[in-house]
């Protein structure tokens, strides 16, 4: 490997989450991006080091607790601002997630100094590390999207959107839908369309009514179903699929977190 690439690492994948085009994690020391454009929105956080970049011929930087948003179709470049390079995590969002009407505001304010937004983007990346937790990732993306829209609409202020009061009736309808689809699951987008509700309003109403977000409720119901199937004599590999888990490792991770014992040991007990 050439010396200038010795400390550089890249990981990229396409998640099965509506609205996301790509997830990209990278560590660069010497690499510099030439001027280029994307058809997607670029949402990045820097975990180590700092980045200098030009956006529409204006100088900017990305580091620390800031969230950087680069709009589609606008030229930008990128390079390390420190000798040791930088480590970043990037989300590429479908153009319609934020909409063309916000491109101008993003050009003017690509750096969002918002610790809550930074935390939510970090939590979204953690959810995306587990492909089977798509409902959680989709829910977190909805809240990230809403906060970005609020910041850009407010032109860099900390003002947030008007949040409608939670609806217990809406929460109950979502719970019924999740109960009907324990193994198959349901995406937040399809649930919102079916229940005629905004995705974040749906999640907030459910959390207010039942004390936990929809994705955790669904995971708990799946663990409950897995317990019954294991006690009925099914093997863990069969139970994983029947209870709606991605694979046996996914079942084991959540089962052990909820019950403190692996599915195999639980069955043998």
Q: State whether 193 and 231 are in the same domain.
A: no
DSSP per position, 179-248: HHTTTT---HHHHHHHHT--HHHHHHHHHHHHSS-HHHHHHHHHHHHHHHHHHTT--HHHHHHHTT-SSH
Q: Report pLDDT for 61.
A: 87
**Alpha-carbon gap, residue 43 to 121, rounded angstroms:** 9
Q: Report pLDDT for 116.
A: 95
Q: State whether 173 and 122 are in the same domain.
A: no
Contact 161, 151 (CB under 8 A): no
The mean per-residue pLDDT over the stretch 189-201 comes to 95
For residue range 33-84, what is the model confidence (pLDDT) as tens digits?
999 999 999 999 999 999 999 998 889 988 878 999 999 999 999 999 989 9
Q: What is the pTM of this model?
A: 0.86
Residues of the domain holding 239:
219-268
**Alpha-carbon gap, residue 92 to 19, rounded angstroms:** 9
How many Cα atoms sit within 13 Å of 14 on the Cβ side?
A: 2
Least trusted range by pLDDT, from 11-25, 163-177, 224-238: 163-177
Q: State whether 147 and 235 are in the same domain.
A: no
Instruction: Write b or e for each residue in 78-114: b if 16 or more Cβ atoms lie within 10 A of its Cβ, otherwise e.
Output: bbbbeeebbbbbbbbbebebbeeebbebbbebbbbeb
Whole-angstrom CA distances from 83 to 28, 78, 87, 91 are 11, 14, 12, 25
Q: Report pLDDT for 155.
A: 55
The mean per-residue pLDDT over the stretch 20-42 comes to 94
Query: Which strand (E) or helix (H) includes residue 123?
Result: helix 115-128
Least trusted range by pLDDT, from 165-169, 191-195, 235-239: 165-169
Domain annotation covers residue 32: yes
Q: State whether 149 and 28 are in the same domain.
A: yes
Query: How many CB atoms within 10 Å of residue 141?
Result: 26
Whole-angstrom CA distances from 80 to 3, 24, 46, 52, 76 are 17, 17, 11, 6, 14
Q: How many domains does the chain have?
A: 3
Q: State whether 248 and 146 are in the same domain.
A: no
Q: State whether 36 and 142 are in the same domain.
A: yes
Q: State whether 144 and 175 are in the same domain.
A: no
The mean per-residue pLDDT over the stretch 16-25 comes to 95
Q: State whether 58 and 147 are in the same domain.
A: yes
Residue listed under structure tokens 């809403």? 146
Mean pLDDT for the chain overall: 91
Domain annotation covers residue 163: no
The SS3 assignment for 34 reads: strand
**Alpha-carbon gap, residue 110 to 126, rounded angstroms:** 23
Domain annotation covers residue 79: yes
Q: Which neighbouring-strand residues pair with 91?
A: 23, 43
For residue range 134-161, what is the model confidence (pLDDT) as tens digits?
899 999 999 999 999 999 997 544 444 5
**Alpha-carbon gap, residue 71 to 144, rounded angstroms:** 16
Q: Report pLDDT for 30.
A: 87
Which CATH number is 240's domain given? 1.10.10.60
Under DSSP, the state recorded for 52 is E
For residue range 217-255, what is the model confidence (pLDDT) as tens digits?
999 999 999 999 999 999 999 999 999 998 999 999 999
Q: Report pLDDT for 166.
A: 77
């Amino acid at each position: 490997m050439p010396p200038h690439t010795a400390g550089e690492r890249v990981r990229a994948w396409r998640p099965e989450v509506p609205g996301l085009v790509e997830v990209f994690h990278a560590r660069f020391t010497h690499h510099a991006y030439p001027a280029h454009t994307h058809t997607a929105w670029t949402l990045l956080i820097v975990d180590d080091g700092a980045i200098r970049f030009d956006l529409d011929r204006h100088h900017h930087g990305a580091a620390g607790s800031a969230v950087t948003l680069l709009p589609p179709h606008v030229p930008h470049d990128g390079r390390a601002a420190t000798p040791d390079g930088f480590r970043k995590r990037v989300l590429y969002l479908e153009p319609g997630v934020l909409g063309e009407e916000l491109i101008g505001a993003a050009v003017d304010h690509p750096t969002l100094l918002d610790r809550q937004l930074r935390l939510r983007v970090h939590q979204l990346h953690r959810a995306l590390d587990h492909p089977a937790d798509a409902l959680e990732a989709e829910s977190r993306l909805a809240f990230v999207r809403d906060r970005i829209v609020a910041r850009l609409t407010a032109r860099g202020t900390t003002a947030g959107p008007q949040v409608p009061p939670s609806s217990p009736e809406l929460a109950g309808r979502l719970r019924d839908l999740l109960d009907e689809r324990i193994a198959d699951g349901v995406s937040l987008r399809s649930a919102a369309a079916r229940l005629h509700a905004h995705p974040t309003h749906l999640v907030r109403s459910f959390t207010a009514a039942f004390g936990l977000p929809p994705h955790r409720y669904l995971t708990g119901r799946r663990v409950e179903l897995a317990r019954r199937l294991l006690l009925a004599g099914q093997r863990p590999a069969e139970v994983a699929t029947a209870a709606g888990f991605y694979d046996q490792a996914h079942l084991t991770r959540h089962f052990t977190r909820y019950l403190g014992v692996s599915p195999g040991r639980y069955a043998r007990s």
